Amino acid sequence: MTKGNINVSVENIFPLIKKFLYSDHEIFLRELVSNATDATLKLKHLTNVGEAKVEYGNPQIEIKIDKEGKKLHIIDQGLGMTADEVEKYINQVAFSGAEEFLDKYKDSAKDSGIIGHFGLGFYSAFMVAEKVEIITKSFKDEPAAHWTCDGSPEFTLEPAEKTERGTEIILHIAEDSTEFLEESRIRELLNKYNKFMPIPIKFGTKEINDPEHEPATITDKDGKETKEPHRKITVDDIINNPNPAWTKQPTDLKEEDYNNFYRELYPMQFEEPLFHIHLNVDYPFNLTGILYFPKLSNDMQIQKDKIQLYQNQVFVTDNVEGIVPEFLTMLRGVIDSPDIPLNVSRSYLQADGAVKKISSYITRKVADKLKSLFNNNREDFEKKWDDIKIVIEYGMLSEEKFFEKAEAFALYPTVDGKYYTYEELYNKIKANQTDKDDKLVILYASDKDAQHSYIEAAKAKNYEVLLLDSPIVSHLIQKLEGTKENISFARVDGDHIDNLIKKDENTVSKLDDEQKKTLDELLKEVIPSEKFMVQLEAMDSNANPFIITQPEFMRRMKEMQQTGGGGMFGMGNMPEMYNLVVNTNHELVSEILNTKTKKKQERLINQSLDLARLSQGLLKGEELTNFIKRSYEMIK
């Protein structure tokens, strides 16, 4: 038996590892299972190239809990180690990594999560164990070795009885870490970190129906038939899927396979994804993965089911901001790249050159997929538009390259359920919706019901009205106005339709200047100036007498501020201001002007104003009660 001291200047390095890595307590299992996987895959490689003259077979990794003995076992059938290799890799290499780690990170290590970066994967065991044993037998024809260390720099190394190839690591779980002796906790960690590891992981056994036993049919004395119970057999419980969908070629997968994998990733999701994008690139970096477009609601709530990031099938994180373009963090799925460092801090990841290239590749790939979906089945794409538009609009706002590519598939739906690309829309409305200053005015509504009367007024002039109702639409139209030449967007309730698209012809007013002045003074006496700006307009006599509008600029700024941005400080806190457009050619307006009693004039003005407010959903509470009461009196 060899006894010795690990060559280390820090007298007792283990309490320091434990202290500094405490926030990453649970990842010890990920590290040890990853090491076991590496040892198995290395053996596979050596047998393939003929360096290892052994049978590879069907190796698996086994995790066992010994609750009474307070031990956790991680057992592999990989290449194993000789006593010399234990001395080299465990006592020398890994410990020099531990020292380097402490020198560099002792002030900030707690949150950096960079164990494996310094070869510290194995020593993460001491975060949860008071003593660690390694029993290992190499694939080479040499005796097995048994290494023991109790968390001090002292270790023992002696021959072992083990006859089968591979390594068994035994953790004697510390008093403050007994949660890791609970089956439910270990199963949770294996599911989180090792669900798609490339080697089968056994954790206990389970009962299943015997596939070779067909239950017999039993007929009772009354001639009633029943099936006998299934015969059960006990099998290893393999808790991972070593060959997940993203590791296969797209040509080998059907739609059903993609949907099954989605359910495997997100067992609590009951809705099917809308479509998927299979990522597969080997130059200038390696990247595989599958991204899914889920059904998204308009409230832009960040999804709880996030994209999962893997490195060679080992889970790294589901906090992918900075790796995946921000607008795509609303998607779901998996990205796997060996070029992503497994154990580094987020700031390091986001600054990494390979990661930046990955981000722009994913953006391009998603744009190309959307374009092909649109071209191949436009009808289906239009049906899905409401569920995917928020991602596409957000992408158009936040990623310039995506904005350029989206020209080919971004849709602009109308209130009548037609869908146009920007180019199609432009060609359709150019002749009719260009104003006297040669500017194309694109009309839109945000709520078909609330803005119904304004939409009808626009349709009466054969204008197209878009339905743009996502929460970021104000930002998007601002961007479109800034990038397209000589266009502007106007919401249909922003003004009277003749003012939204001004043509050369002017409607003559029935009232002369003196009458208009009298009317203006009369209206301003009754109508609260802090809520309404009164403007007299000569319009078609069939148009409503009173129309409430909200200036496009003011409303858009308020909306933009509510969803972030908008540029004008405090705009969100400004009181709601509306324009009251009064049609001087309507007979009711003439009647107001010609009514002899002040009281009746006031009542007609209030009634007309309240009807206009009612049509905009602005009449509530006491004012609505008074309006109803007054209306009944007028009927009487």
- 3-state SS, residue 356: helix
pLDDT in tens, 26-69: 888 988 998 899 889 889 888 888 888 888 889 999 999 999 99
Tally the C-alpha atoms within 13 A of residue 258's C-alpha that lie toward its C-beta.
23
pTM as predicted: 0.74
Q: What is the 3-state secondary structure (H, E, C) of 188-226?
A: HHHHHHCCCCCCCEEEEEEEEECCCCCCCEEECCCCCEE
Question: In whole angstroms, how large is the CA radius of gyration of the chain?
Answer: 36
Beta bridge mates, 281: 287
Q: Give the helix, strand, coil percentages of the chain, each rounded to 5.
A: 40, 20, 35
> Which pLDDT value is given to residue 150?
86
Alpha carbon of 414 to those of 410, 424, 446, 467: distances in Å? 13, 12, 11, 5
CA 262 to chain centre: 14
Residue position matching structure tokens 């959307």:
370
- Residues with Cβ within 8 Å of 503's Cβ and at least 6 positions away in sequence, in order, are 435, 436
**Is there a contact between 568 and 561 (Cβ–Cβ < 8 Å)?**
yes
The continuous run of DSSP H or E covering 157 comes out as strand 154-160
What local confidence, expressed as pLDDT, does residue 210 receive? 85
pLDDT < 70 stretches in the chain: 4-24, 92-120, 297-304, 341-354, 504-505, 562-575
**pLDDT score recorded for residue 6:** 60
- Bridge partners, 429 (sequence order): none
Which of 97-109 are b and which e, b meaning 16 or more Cβ less than 10 Å from the residue's Cβ? bbeebbeebeeeb
Q: Give the torsion through C-alpha atoms of 56, 58, 59, 60, to 10 deg.
A: 170
* Alpha carbon distance 362, 95 (integer Å): 39
> Both tokens of residue 376?
């191949």
User: Which residue in this structure is represented by tokens 């206990």?
Assistant: 204
**CB count in 10 Å sphere of residue 466:** 24
Q: Does 15 sit behind a cis peptide bond, omega within 30 degrees of 0 on the bond before it?
A: no
| Sheet strand arrangement including 546-549 | 532-537, 578-583, 546-549
Pairing label, strands 61-66, 201-209: parallel
CB 31 within 8 A of CB 172: no
The Cα–Cα gap between 469 and 491 comes to 11
3-state secondary structure of 321: strand
What CA–CA distances, in Å, run from 13 to 117, 126, 134, 178, 206?
17, 10, 19, 22, 41
> Which residues, in sequence order, are CB contacts of 267 under 8 Å at separation 6+?
none
Q: What is the model's pLDDT at position 224?
A: 83
Burial degree of 416 (CB within 10 A; 0-12, 13-18, 19+) = exposed
Quickly list DSSP for 493-504.
GGS-HHHHS--S
User: CB under 8 Å to 436, separation ≥6 — which residues?
Assistant: 502, 503, 504
- Cα–Cα distance for residue pair 489/495, rounded to 1 Å: 12
d(CA 124, CA 138): 23
**Residue 440 dihedral angles phi and psi, to the nearest 5°:** -80, 125
Backbone angles phi, psi at 360, to 5 degrees: -75, -30
Q: Smallest Cα–Cα separation from 417: which of 374, 370, 389, 385?
A: 385
List, for residues 547-557, the tens digit of each pLDDT value: 888 777 777 77
